[in-house]
């Protein structure tokens, strides 16, 4: 897929103008807290995670505290974030590994982080960038997948391939905050399943904006109920 780099830079500049002051949505004080919050954020809103973590970290301030705790107690503590059994298992497993393999310190390489339970490449990238200020790649979440594809920045749907496409398209100094801009745009304008292209200030630079209004029109036509009365087939011939 050939992408116009000049156009992508214009889009990125406009996104930076629209969404200034980039920041991480999860609240944390150190890499350990970020790791736990990242696990909890799977299929859960940032707001809900931020509501749970203050009490959670007061109860479990160190990896050792999770590692030595009963799984059932951790499940109950993280229950409000949903999928609490899987998340509790991942947190306890990751913290046990951190204690046993890394002397209680969260590792700071992509290879070591992804060796921990519950930490895939997306999470590892986020922990490295925001916990250690190390930028090795680009965090690819559902908003990034959707918006990058619509903007024509990638033709892939696989997160690893999308990350490679974006890394090749943008300078390294932009990698950390590209997800912030795309996530904000995905939340406010370029929503799923239907983007608000008529409200989008970058629609003139977006290849999907030229297509999707027609798609939406066809969708509306399909959903429009037929007028009441006899159908054409039941109409009698005029004499």
The pLDDT score that the predictor gives to residue 212 is: 52
CATH number for 147: 1.10.1670.10
The answer on 128 and 44 residing in a single domain is yes
Residue 221 lies inside a defined structural domain of this protein:
no
pTM for this predicted structure: 0.83
The answer on 146 and 124 residing in a single domain is no
Instruction: Give the Cα separation of 94 and 87 in Å (integer).
Output: 10
Which of these ranges, 5-9, 53-57, 179-183, has the smallest mean pLDDT? 5-9
- Identify which of 154, 236, 238, 185 has the alpha carbon closest to the alpha carbon of residue 16: 185
The pLDDT score that the predictor gives to residue 239 is: 38
| Three-point CA angle 232, 214, 233, nearest 5° | 5
pLDDT at 214 over 70: no
Within 10 A of 199 (CB to CB), how many other CB atoms are there? 10
Residue 209 lies inside a defined structural domain of this protein:
yes
The answer on 115 and 72 residing in a single domain is yes
pLDDT at 230 over 80: no
What share of the chain has pLDDT > 70, as a percent? 87
pLDDT tens digits, residue range 106-133?
999 999 999 999 999 999 999 999 999 9
The answer on 98 and 144 residing in a single domain is no
Which ranges constitute the DSSP H helices of 103-203? 110-113, 121-132, 142-150, 159-169, 178-188
Please give the residue range of the domain that contains residue 79: 31-132
Instruction: Give the Cα separation of 113 and 110 in Å (integer).
Output: 5
Q: Residue 238: which pLDDT band, with cuts at 50, 70 and 90?
A: very low
Q: What is the domain count for the chain? A: 2
Q: Average pLDDT, stretch 222-238? A: 42
The answer on 54 and 15 residing in a single domain is no
pLDDT tens digits, residue range 164-177?
999 999 999 999 99
The pLDDT score that the predictor gives to residue 15 is: 97
The answer on 9 and 81 residing in a single domain is no
Which of these ranges, 119-123, 179-183, 205-209, 220-224, has the smallest mean pLDDT? 220-224
pLDDT at 54 over 90: yes
């Amino acid at each position: 897929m050939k992408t116009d780099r000049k156009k992508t830079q214009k889009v990125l500049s406009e996104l930076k103008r629209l969404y200034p002051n980039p920041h991480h949505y999860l609240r944390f004080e150190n890499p350990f807290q970020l790791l736990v919050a990242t696990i909890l954020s799977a299929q859960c809103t940032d707001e809900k995670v931020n509501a749970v973590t203050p009490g959670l970290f007061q109860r479990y301030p160190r990896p050792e505290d999770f590692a030595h705790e009963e799984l059932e107690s951790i499940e109950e503590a993280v229950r409000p974030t949903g999928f609490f059994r899987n998340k509790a298992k991942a947190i306890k497993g990751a913290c046990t590994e951190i204690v046993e393999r890394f002397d209680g310190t969260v590792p700071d390489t992509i290879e070591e982080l992804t060796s921990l339970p519950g930490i895939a490449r997306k999470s590892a990238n986020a922990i490295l960038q925001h916990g250690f200020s190390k930028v090795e790649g680009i965090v690819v979440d559902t908003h990034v997948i959707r918006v990058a594809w619509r903007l024509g920045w990638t033709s892939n749907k696989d997160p690893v391939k999308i990350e490679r496409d974006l890394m090749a398209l943008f300078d390294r100094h932009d990698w950390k905050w590209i997800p912030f801009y795309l996530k904000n745009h995905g939340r406010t304008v370029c929503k799923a399943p239907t983007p608000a292209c008529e409200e989008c200030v970058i629609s003139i630079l977006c290849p999907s904006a030229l297509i999707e209004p027609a798609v939406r029109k066809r969708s509306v036509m399909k959903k429009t109920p037929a007028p009441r009365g006899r159908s054409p087939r039941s109409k009698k011939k005029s004499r």
